[in-house]
Structure 1
Amino acid sequence: MRGKGTAHEHGRVIVVTGATGGVGRATARAFAARGDRVALLARGREGLAAAADEVQRAGGEALVVGVDVCDAKAVDAAAQQVVDTFGHIDVWVNNAFTGVFAPVTEVAPDEFRRVTEVTYLGYVFGSRAALRHMRPRDRGTIVQVGSALAYRGIPLQSAYCGAKHAIQGFNESLRCELLHARSGVRTTMVQLPGLNTPQFDWVLNRMAGRARPVAPVYQPEVAARAIVHAASHARRREYWVGGSTVATLIANAVVPGLLDRYLARTNFDAQQDEGTPGGPVNLWAPADGPHGHDFGAHGHFDDEAVADSPQQWLSRNRGRLGAALTVGAGILAARRLAGLVRR
């Protein structure tokens, strides 16, 4: 499926995995608004069709590719389809994921395996597919969509946190190899905060209450803007999005033991709302498959989610002042955390 926009002559070629909902959906729209050609990789038919329509209405050109990212051969074939259609790949955004909300002892071995295959190996297979087409041209950018949880594990999300930690290590290895080869291909990682996305409606949940993002909650467009910026400024190895991400990562570096205790006290309740878990689960099959429902980019936390991040502006325009303010905010948050834990 392709649109009829004029982006073919001028826009870059972008691949977004997990493009049917949440951050992937918002990111696809953001690239399309720049006139880019966007290949949408995901499983759900309803979500893919709706995402393609949004890309075209935003001014881009859409290519829909149904694929499960944990299938390496299918990801390679998807990359080849993009190249056959658009000629090359400029930016590959690894974003697809799944997870389980439950204590470690309540996550089955096959569920750990599935989360790891989608959330970690999906990034590995996507990166390898992108490199296969980028390295001969000696140009291109791979953006790994990460999380504060790539550095800092929290309770009830062990499978997801483990996969995000693995992505962090993989990306650092890849970056070193590209630097060693003096390659024109770049890789960067964007670490995100809690976001108002539909994932909390479709991730497998064995908690007592309904799953929710840890506050403060940001709209997915905040993440999308950071990803689009990172794609054009990939010499920088990593971007942190949101003041909560900065505070968490600095606190983890400065007082990790205190952070363990703080999260043990607060994060069981912080990840749950009143209500009974229910709805479709996307661990094994797309959530929109048998239901015929398009979830879109936003979850049901619009009332509390913020649409902008001053920290993100400082990060994009960082100088000495921006860096000092960012680090200072993190140190103050770490000190406040220490005070809360000692109470």
Structure 2
Amino acid sequence: MTLAEHERQKPVAVVTGASAGIGRAIAVAFARRGYRVALLARSPEGLDGALHDVKQAGGEPFELVTDVAKAAEVFAAAEAVIARWGRIHVWVNDAMETVVGPVDSIAPEEFRRVTEVTYLGVVHGTLAALRHMRPRDEGHIVQIGSALAYRAIPLQSAYCAAKFAIRGFTDSLRAELIHDGSGIRLTMAQLPGVNTPQFDWSHMHLAYRHQPIGTVYEPEAIAEKIVGAVHAGRARRELWLGAPTIESIIGAMVAPGLLDRYLAHNAYEKQISRDPVRPGDPDELLGPDDRDHGAHGRFAWRAKDSVVAVDPAYLRGGAAFAGLALVAGLLWGASRRGNGARSRDRSKM
């Protein structure tokens, strides 16, 4: 195989929200595995930094200034990737925006912008990926979700609603792909709190910056699990990352009312840090910042370098087995009681 042929064989990944945070860490993780990586985001400065990181990791980067809220820009970016590299093997939808504050303090246009980026950005990216994956009947689309896609928390109504919407959209698409017998794989990764710049540029309706609750993880730990899922032999329907995610999702399924009350008393004030919002702070809801923020936020002192990843299919299988065992035990007990009663009846005859 010639060098040119070898280069053409390298897999291609597209990552939205690649200029910072988890998206940037995922781009670098793909680069370490020899991928050519297309970097999509609004910030030229952040994209320049991501391009440097991908090169340093041994990948071939391609930066594309793109607002995922605008479908035409996303489709054009996908076409540019195809024109340059011929195909798309993996598409990761990571771009997001958030606004923090009580529901009635958030303006309608702020709800709209969070929805357009966080939810519709995923829709646009998925449609662009499908356009080029369908003819080859192969590829892997990864949606970056959150524990908040199952269990909403106070002060983040717009973001939580968008993540719920992503889950509904993804489940619907998955059923369609199965119906079509498609070879395209689809995974949604549900994330915990991660040490990213998100907490520095969120649009705030409070005087102090928000912060993650509970255990926090470094973005590289999350990225490695996501890229690992892409390379797994069996397609992962979902991936639950971190103990807080697992606890939140199971809690939402088992005791939603109890969790409502718990979060009302424990997830409001604890989201608010002691770092004041200052004039000139970055605010991604209003527009891209002209600084490169990198992958990490300000919580390195409490962030973990490793994270547990669980395929919920195994949890559901275990729960189903436990349920069947419980039913079998109840039936066996009922049968024993019935046999005992019949024996006593016969003894009286």
Fold shared by both chains (TM-score > 0.5): yes
Q: Does 1:225 align with 2:227?
A: no
What is residue 294 of structure 1 aligned with on the other side?
A: 292
What is residue 276 of structure 1 aligned with on the other side?
A: 276
Aligned equivalents of 2:197, 2:13: Cα separation in 1: 23
Quick one: structure 1 residues 10 and 317, their matched pair in 2 at CA, closer, same or farther if it must change by over 3 Å? Answer: farther
Quick one: structure 1 residues 79 and 148, their matched pair in 2 at CA, closer, same or farther if it must change by over 3 Å? Answer: same
Which one-letter code corresponds to 2:48 in the other structure?
A: A
Q: How does 1:70-89 map to 2 (within 5 A)?
A: 70-89=69-88
Assess if the C-alpha contact under 8 Å between 2:192 and 2:216 holds in 1: yes
Assess if the C-alpha contact under 8 Å between 1:7 and 1:59 holds in 2: no
Aligned equivalents of 2:295, 2:203: Cα separation in 1: 19
Which one-letter code corresponds to 2:75 in the other structure?
A: D
Secondary structure of the 2:27 match is: helix
Aligned equivalents of 1:122, 1:74: Cα separation in 2: 11
Aligned equivalents of 1:299, 1:5: Cα separation in 2: 39
Q: How does 1:23-38 map to 2 (within 5 A)?
A: 23-38=22-37
Q: Which shows bigger deviation, 254-263 or 201-210? A: 201-210
Aligned equivalents of 1:141, 1:75: Cα separation in 2: 17
Which one-letter code corresponds to 2:302 in the other structure?
A: E
Q: Does 1:128 align with 2:121?
A: no
Aligned equivalents of 1:7, 1:306: Cα separation in 2: 37
Which one-letter code corresponds to 1:298 in the other structure?
A: H
Following superposition, the deviation at residue 5 of structure 1 comes to 12
Aligned equivalents of 2:8, 2:149: Cα separation in 1: 38
Secondary structure of the 2:267 match is: helix
What is residue 147 of structure 1 aligned with on the other side?
A: 146
What is residue 238 of structure 1 aligned with on the other side?
A: 238
Q: Does 1:194 align with 2:205?
A: no
Aligned equivalents of 1:127, 1:74: Cα separation in 2: 13
Secondary structure of the 1:39 match is: strand
Aligned equivalents of 1:9, 1:135: Cα separation in 2: 20
> Matched residue pairs, number?
316
Normalising by structure 2, we get a TM-score of: 0.86
Aligned equivalents of 1:110, 1:47: Cα separation in 2: 25
Following superposition, the deviation at residue 247 of structure 1 comes to 0.4
Aligned equivalents of 2:4, 2:101: Cα separation in 1: 45
Runs of 4+ displaced beyond 4 Å: 4-7, 316-320, 322-325
Higher Rg of the two aligned structures: 2
Aligned equivalents of 1:198, 1:149: Cα separation in 2: 18
What is residue 258 of structure 2 aligned with on the other side?
A: 258
Aligned equivalents of 1:38, 1:118: Cα separation in 2: 21
Q: Which residues of structure 1 form unaligned runs of 5+?
A: 329-343
Following superposition, the deviation at residue 68 of structure 1 comes to 0.2
Aligned equivalents of 1:74, 1:216: Cα separation in 2: 36
Correspondent of 1:306 among 286, 304, 307? 304
What is residue 157 of structure 2 aligned with on the other side?
A: 158
Assess if the C-alpha contact under 8 Å between 1:5 and 1:59 holds in 2: no
Secondary structure of the 1:136 match is: coil
Following superposition, the deviation at residue 316 of structure 1 comes to 6.7
Q: Which residues of structure 2 form unaligned runs of 5+?
A: 323-349
Aligned equivalents of 2:200, 2:193: Cα separation in 1: 14
Aligned equivalents of 2:303, 2:237: Cα separation in 1: 28
Following superposition, the deviation at residue 206 of structure 1 comes to 1.4
Following superposition, the deviation at residue 318 of structure 1 comes to 9.1
Which one-letter code corresponds to 1:275 in the other structure?
A: D
Secondary structure of the 1:155 match is: coil
Aligned equivalents of 1:5, 1:68: Cα separation in 2: 33
Quick one: structure 1 residues 6 and 227, their matched pair in 2 at CA, closer, same or farther if it must change by over 3 Å? Answer: farther
RMSD of aligned residue pairs (Cα, Å): 2.3
What is residue 337 of structure 1 aligned with on the other side?
A: none
Normalising by structure 1, we get a TM-score of: 0.88
What is residue 333 of structure 1 aligned with on the other side?
A: none
